């Protein structure tokens, strides 16, 4: 099994997504672990699906 490019890391206040290739944080702070978003980023990476998932997780913060 290869190393995953995007991984969720627990930080104070929630979760951040770490980009192993770019060696930087990706996206925003999420209160809940964005498992479906990570699966999409590491899998098919469909831009429309990623956008929908970003909107979904952003709505959960409100």
pTM comes to: 0.86
In a domain, 24, yes or no: yes
In a domain, 34, yes or no: yes
pLDDT tens digits, 19-46: 999 999 999 999 999 999 999 999 999 9
pLDDT for the residue numbered 62: 65
- Burial class, 15, CB count within 10 angstroms (exposed 0-12 / middle 13-18 / buried 19+): buried
**Long-range CB contacts (within 8 A, 24+) of 9-14:** none
Q: What percent of the chain is modeled with pLDDT above 90?
A: 82
Q: How confident is the model at residue 53 (pLDDT cuts 50, 70, 90)?
A: very high
- Number of domains forming the structure of the chain: 1
In a domain, 1, yes or no: no
In a domain, 28, yes or no: yes
The residue range of the domain holding 56 is 6-61
In a domain, 53, yes or no: yes
In a domain, 12, yes or no: yes
């Amino acid at each position: 099994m290869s190393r995953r490019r995007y991984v969720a890391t627990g930080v104070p206040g929630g979760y951040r997504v770490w980009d192993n290739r770019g060696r930087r944080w990706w996206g925003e702070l999420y209160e809940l672990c964005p498992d479906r978003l990570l699966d999409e980023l590491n899998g098919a990476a469909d831009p429309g699906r990623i956008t929908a998932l970003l909107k979904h997780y952003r709505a959960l913060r409100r």
